[in-house]
Structure 1
Amino acid sequence: MKKLSGLLFVGCIALTGCEGSTDGDLTPTPPTPDPTPPALAADVCYLMKTTKGDITLAIDLTNMPITGKNFKQYVDKSFYNGTLFHRTVNNFMIQGGGFTTGLKSKPGDAPIKNEAAVGISNKRGTISMARTTVPDSATSQFFINVLDNPDLDASASEFGYAVFGKVVDGMDVADQISIVPTKSSGGFANTPVQEILINSVATTSCPAA
């Protein structure tokens, strides 16, 4: 039940509620996932400095052009600087990119198309887009999987969550973030007791293949 609960909350871009989360939102038929998903490309890499340590991310612009470009555009305008990892669930994922200190919402740009049907799996260390129950609703928020989470993948009956990159260094930092003490209050769940800040996200060299 813990995993199912986590899945439902990842589906909420804002933890205080899910806009448009009615059964009617899921009436479209999910696209069939690619039966032979490609390996993630490392087209551009970013160094994410947090108050818990550094995480290096490789972003796939080749196989995930919409999602990868979306993340890149947020980084290019320094959107993530000063945002929080506002939700952490042990043995599941860590979520960030939508709130500033004091859990103040930071509105993102227009929602993007869900590319989860490309077929890249939510494995440990991958980074994916958070969204509401509306399939094409992701904006700025993302999450890093700390375990393999195949339940979040696209299928014949589920739209899934789009993987667009992976951690190439600093997974130990992500693991530490996932186990910090959390609290629930004011409609927010699994929020770190002590805020975990993303100080900056900047371009860095990708590791040699």
Structure 2
Amino acid sequence: MKTFQITGICTLFLILFTTSCNETPEPVESDPFFDKLHEGEATKEELDSLMEAHGMQTNYLVKVPKDHFEIIFPVSKKYVEKETEKQLIDGEEITTYEYKANMQGKEDENLAYQLTYNYVGQKTEKELKRLFDDQREYWLSAANAKLEYEYVKDLNGVPGRELYLSIDDSNLKTSNRMYYDKGVFYRLVVVTPEGNLFNKSIKAFLDSFKITDGK
């Protein structure tokens, strides 16, 4: 068996011009973007771009129509990396796609956010159970972790599971979810320090995952 490894945001800009009461202010050339902002016509993309430029962006939407999903990372775009890895497993080349944000040393409630997925083909109910079981065992073995809880999770009819792991010899915990839909196997992981399991960013990240129709 093979085991495989951003809501509107309102931004208020207050510009103070201090001039002497005896001075006549020089005319200031209008900026088209600020004109649109003032009129309430700036697009979300324009706002996100401006916020990103000033280090104020707090969410980043990853949307991949061809792979039928979207997810919101509760961090700035600059922290989110994309990687593609090819592995030879049982003589077959498997491509794994990954989006991740390493937040160690950053001002964030959690240490890392990760989404990985790959194509595994159609599965029977029995094969799907084994896929989920094998992934759980891989996580436990790779991290030398202890399973705290596991339960079946359904995402609008899409089968999945949710797990909570304690990593041995450390104060780290992981919140994990996995889903299978139309031949694609998705895995979500948040790594957090002990005692911080229920912070809002974990739920925001995991709950933002959606299966889409490819548009």
The TM-score with structure 1 as length reference comes to 0.27
The TM-score with structure 2 as length reference comes to 0.26
Question: Which has the higher Rg, Structure 1 or Structure 2?
Answer: 2
Considering Cα pairs closer than 8 Å and 6+ residues apart, tell me whether 1 or 2 has the greater RCO.
Answer: 1
Give 1 or 2: higher helix fraction. 2
